[in-house]
Amino acid sequence: MSTATNDRQRVSFVSDLHLLSRRSSAPRHLDSLHAVARKSQHFVLGGDIFDFKWSTLHSLDASIAAAESWLFELAQATPECRFHFLLGNHDSHPALIQRLPALACRLPNFAWEHFFLRMGDTIFLHGDVADRHSTTQCLLEARRNGFCHESRSKMHHGAYDLVVRSHLHRIIPTAVYPRKTVARRILHYLRDIAQGPEQGIRRVCFGHTHRIVLGFEHGGVTFFNGGAPIGKARFHVLEFDVETPGADPAVTLVSVG
């Protein structure tokens, strides 16, 4: 976990690219991500940037190497921007986590966090706490157990392709993740880690649900989610002018896809 405060920072946020999986359209938008990075002081990669559960590569080692290479190339290409890699439930794999400290040593503009990053009155997190009322220990156990399974078979990949082609992946998030329910669950988690509105949080930027949320207010906090580039679904790279607590940062949406 990490906190950072500056007078004024241009911060961009994207999540749920699900790189390495067949369902992701993110590779088509990498030029846009690089363009956003060039005009940002910070770029938060908000979890599930990679998808080791649904990777199409031939082995776990190949998937981990591809993820590490992608992070290195992104950060190296824009040294004036600082990249913050947050882990999600699809990329919080022990094999990748073992490599992240060395990657941070090689790249002075790269940092990583298990759960969240705070800047001023804005907190960034993956958002898998939206599934249920969670604590940090619950998150750790859920992510650890999430990788105790075999790789997905061709049959599984085919079934998921059918879901994407039928556009169910665009309908399901609205039904499964009502905005108020998600906001309540996130606030429950933030209070558990002493990073709630009582500690000055006014804005939450999260991923995981694949449901675009642009400025939903609940409990004195405003929530943002840029969605996910799955199939032909639209998503946003969020850009914030983040101020110290008490200010009202501007928000810019970069529509991609």
Q: Give the Cα separation of 230 and 18 in Å (integer).
A: 8
Mean pLDDT of all residues in 89-104: 96
Secondary structure of residue 10 in the 3-state scheme: strand
pLDDT digits 0-9 by tens, 168-180? 555 666 767 899 9
CA angle 166, 60, 12 (to 5 degrees): 65
pTM for the whole structure: 0.85
pLDDT digits 0-9 by tens, 129-153? 999 888 888 887 877 776 654 565 5
Strand pairing report for 8-14 and 2-4: unpaired
For 2-256, CATH number out of 3.40.50.1970, 3.10.310.30, 1.10.10.10, 3.60.21.10 equals: 3.60.21.10
Q: Where are the beta strands (DSSP E) in the chain?
A: 2-4, 8-14, 42-46, 82-86, 110-113, 116-119, 122-125, 203-205, 213-218, 221-225, 235-243, 251-256
